[in-house]
Structure 1
Amino acid sequence: MASSQVETVGSGAEKAKLAVAVLLVVAGVAGFYLLGRQGPVVQWGALVLAIIGAVGVFFTSDSGKELGGFAQDAWREVKKVVWPTRKESIQVTAYVFGFVVVMAIFLWTSDKVIEWVFYDLILRWR
């Protein structure tokens, strides 16, 4: 049986950083609505600044640093992907469309045969 470990925020400083990040987002949303009479520039400015501040505080925490490391690793792996050429993409797309047409014809034919068997031969409704 595999054991899964749950990581929690350990130190008080880490908890405080995450709490400040959450409070900045909440303050930004509250400011957005409270500054409604000041105009949309002030509203959106307060919201954007609060979110930028929250992201900045989050990325100084251990959780944010781990997320940044994960993002770098993921980007490094994406660079290793060998993407298909235009010709290969068009060929595969044509194969998929061809398969869909063949399956549509097969399913329509199956449906009509089953309909004929049930309604005409078994139930004699027609």
Structure 2
Amino acid sequence: MANPSVETVNASSDKLMLVAGVLLVLAGFVGFFWLNGREWYVRGAALAVGLIAGVAVGLLSAPGKGFIAFAKDSYKEVRKVVWPTRKEASQTTLVVFGFVLIMAVILWICDKSIEWAIFSAILGWK
């Protein structure tokens, strides 16, 4: 499936919905701090209502609906992935560790060879 082109928010109603969603989220945060003397569950409810309402309004806009469609398509694609078995994952991990160990030894040998060449052979230090 080809990637759809990037769409910008053009309709003023979509922009207003996104602004309203952001304002509702901000209202939830303001309510949380404004109700500082109240019980924790009252403050938490104000925050939760603001967040839920803001996200809901944002998801009802055209970009929000596009995001929902993207999330559904992504979920479908993840379900198509063939995950390795435990044995395959273990074998691959051992191969990577082995390769890293071999490369570490090779790089150590190169480092010591260059060190010997510069300090002992060229500069004459011991």
After TM superposition, the score normalised by the length of structure 2 is: 0.89
Residues 1:96 and 2:93 aligned together? no
Shift of 1:75: 0.6
Indicate the residue corresponding to 2:41 in structure 1: 41
For residues 87 and 120 of structure 2, what CA distance do their matches in structure 1 show? 49
Give matches, 1:52-91, under 5 Å: 52-91=52-91
Q: Structure 1 regions of 5+ residues with no counterpart?
A: none
Shift of 1:76: 0.6
Indicate the residue corresponding to 1:24 in structure 2: 24
Give matches, 1:5-16, under 5 Å: 7-16=7-16
Shift of 1:40: 2.6
Indicate the residue corresponding to 1:106 in structure 2: 106
Question: What is the percent sequence identity of the aligned residues?
Answer: 47
Alignment length (residue pairs): 122
Residues 1:50 and 2:73 aligned together? no
For residues 9 and 49 of structure 2, what CA distance do their matches in structure 1 show? 26
After TM superposition, the score normalised by the length of structure 1 is: 0.89
For residues 11 and 124 of structure 1, what CA distance do their matches in structure 2 show? 76
For residues 99 and 30 of structure 1, what CA distance do their matches in structure 2 show? 54
